[in-house]
Amino acid sequence: MKIAIEGQRLFRLKKHGMDMVALELVKNLQLIDKENEYVVFVKPDEDDECIPKADNFEIVALEGGAYPFWEQQALPNAVKEYGCDILHCTSNTAPLKSPVPMIVTLHDIIYLESVSIFKKGGTWYQKMGNMYRRFVVPKVVDRSDKIITVSNFEKNRIKSFFGFPDSDDRLVAVYNGVSEHFKPITDTKTLSVVKEKYSLPENFMFFLGNTDPKKNTKGVLKAFSDYLKAGHEPINLVMLDYDRDALNKLLVEIGDKSLINHIHLTGYVVNTDLPAIYSLCRVFLYPSLRESFGIPMLEAMRCGVPVITSNTSSMPEVAGDAALFVDPYKPEQITEAIIVMLQDEKIRQEYIQKGLTRAAEFSWKSMAQDVLKLYKEIADNHKIAN
């Protein structure tokens, strides 16, 4: 059996959530499946050595123009040209006309819901992407042989939104994993190098905020402002690839422009540097309004960092009992949780230990094994020979 995997953005330098999931899927399929053939279709870009070599994997850098044209024209044509038997599209969308049976990973349907950045906020690039997904995804869902999503919460959301009957077994929840390089970093040289590289402050909390309203950046900033105004232990907030002008705008909205003096923006951080940043921070903040899974929570837990997250959507399902939960719509609860995690060492250590145990339950190998079973199921249903 020859399996095509869509990995359009895998070669770009600045990989994000769905890109990393697709990359880990490919890497782990290489480890567990020596029987089938694979063709991974990517767009040409700078990071062209991120996928290890394997005898039964062919990596094809496929030209094709902008995202919609690449996906709707170049990809299905290449799948047919390379004689593939199954197509797996890994990042929410897919061709409307696939020449072979198709499986789609639908990470979430947030862009179809009321909290979507399509309605308010977000960049124009994000809005255009949402417009495309709003048009394509409902049609793709109807035409897919299998649909993977990443949590039971999201599975139920998708099932309800699209009106899946109970007899429809196409929708399957497959948990994401967490990479092995996420672990407590104790080597002082490694920590020093990363600290200097990103000019990290001595004492800080870590927050992966961005311009997507679901990340609740405004709520976190309000909670952080209230924490400092109350006269508690001084601490900084480290944020990743966030625009300074956008940050200043939010600070004006919450009425605390001076908070910028306690916030450090790192710019883009390569994935291999993240374990050191997690290990250096005191607390990891992840009080999103809505998530389909929440890989960063598990990354932080594996690095021995206490996690504050939301009591909404998928986050209780993924975090289990290993995080301190808050109502993300109430900044005062985030503030109270920060105080607890910074001042109560017993509770802090309790959540660190629970986090290490919980994160060990998730792996990319397990995810790849579950996906491979779905490939074989599709092959059996369509009588595709190995």
Note the pLDDT tens digit of each residue in 39-84.
Answer: 999 999 999 999 999 999 999 999 988 889 999 999 999 999 999 9
Same domain, 265 and 249: yes
The pLDDT value recorded for residue 120 is 53
How much of the chain, in percent, has pLDDT values that exceed 90?
86
Same domain, 168 and 207: no
- Residue 193: inside a domain: yes
Q: Would you place residue 118 in the very low, low, confident or very high pLDDT band (cuts 50, 70, 90)? A: very low
Say whether pLDDT at 102 is over 50. yes
Say whether pLDDT at 217 is over 60. yes
Cα-only R_g, the chain: 21
- Residue 85: inside a domain: yes
The pLDDT value recorded for residue 177 is 97
The pLDDT value recorded for residue 375 is 98
- Residue 122: inside a domain: yes
The pLDDT value recorded for residue 122 is 54
**Domain carrying residue 10:** 2-177+364-381
Strand partners, 308: 285, 324
Say whether pLDDT at 184 is over 60. yes
CATH of residue 211's domain is: 3.40.50.2000
Q: Which of 17-21, 123-127, 186-190, 203-207 has the lowest mean pLDDT?
A: 123-127
CA–CA distance, 316 with 384 (Å, rounded to integer): 39
CA–CA distance, 324 with 342 (Å, rounded to integer): 12
Mean pLDDT of 214-225: 96
Query: Where is pLDDT greater, at 192 or 214?
Result: 192
Q: Would you place residue 124 in the very low, low, confident or very high pLDDT band (cuts 50, 70, 90)? A: low
The pLDDT value recorded for residue 115 is 47
Same domain, 107 and 247: no
Torsion region of 268: left, alpha or beta (phi above 0 gives left; psi -120 to 50 gives alpha): beta
Q: Which of 129-138, 180-189, 255-264, 337-346 has the lowest mean pLDDT?
A: 129-138
Same domain, 199 and 161: no
Give the DSSP letter string of 197-230: HTT--SSEEEE---SSGGG-HHHHHHHHHHHHHT
The pLDDT value recorded for residue 209 is 82
Q: Would you place residue 114 in the very low, low, confident or very high pLDDT band (cuts 50, 70, 90)? A: low
The pLDDT value recorded for residue 150 is 98
User: Cα torsion at 190, 191, 193, 199 (round to 10°)?
Assistant: 160
The residue written with tokens 């789609």 in the block is 104
* Contact (CB, 8 A) for 374 and 146: yes
Mean pLDDT of 206-235: 93
- Residue 386: inside a domain: no
Identify the helix (H) or strand (E) that includes residue 34.
none
Buried b (16+ CB within 10 A) or exposed e, 284-305: bbbbbbbbbbbbbbbbbbbbbb
Say whether pLDDT at 278 is over 90. yes
* Average pLDDT over the chain, rounded to an integer: 94
The pLDDT value recorded for residue 116 is 44
- Residue 183: inside a domain: no
If one counts the domains in the chain, the total is: 2
In terms of Cα–Cα distance, which of 335, 328, 295, 294 is closest to 311? 328
Same domain, 59 and 195: no
Same domain, 15 and 158: yes
Same domain, 163 and 14: yes
- Residue 99: inside a domain: yes
CA–CA distance, 191 with 197 (Å, rounded to integer): 10
Same domain, 235 and 146: no
Mean pLDDT of 366-374: 98
The pLDDT value recorded for residue 10 is 96
Same domain, 173 and 273: no
Say whether pLDDT at 112 is over 50. yes
Same domain, 135 and 107: yes
- Residue 182: inside a domain: no
Same domain, 200 and 158: no
Residues 330-349: tens digit of each pLDDT: 999 999 999 999 999 999 99
* Contact (CB, 8 A) for 283 and 204: no
C-alpha of 117 from chain center: 17
Tell me the C-alpha to C-alpha distance, in Å, between residue 323 and each of 139, 196, 308, 353, 358. 37, 29, 6, 10, 10
How much of the chain, in percent, has pLDDT values that exceed 70?
96
The pLDDT value recorded for residue 117 is 45
Mean pLDDT of 253-264: 96
Say whether pLDDT at 180 is over 90. yes
Same domain, 117 and 147: yes
Say whether pLDDT at 191 is over 70. yes
Mean pLDDT of 314-330: 98
Query: Where is pLDDT greater, at 44 or 118?
Result: 44
Mean pLDDT of 97-109: 97
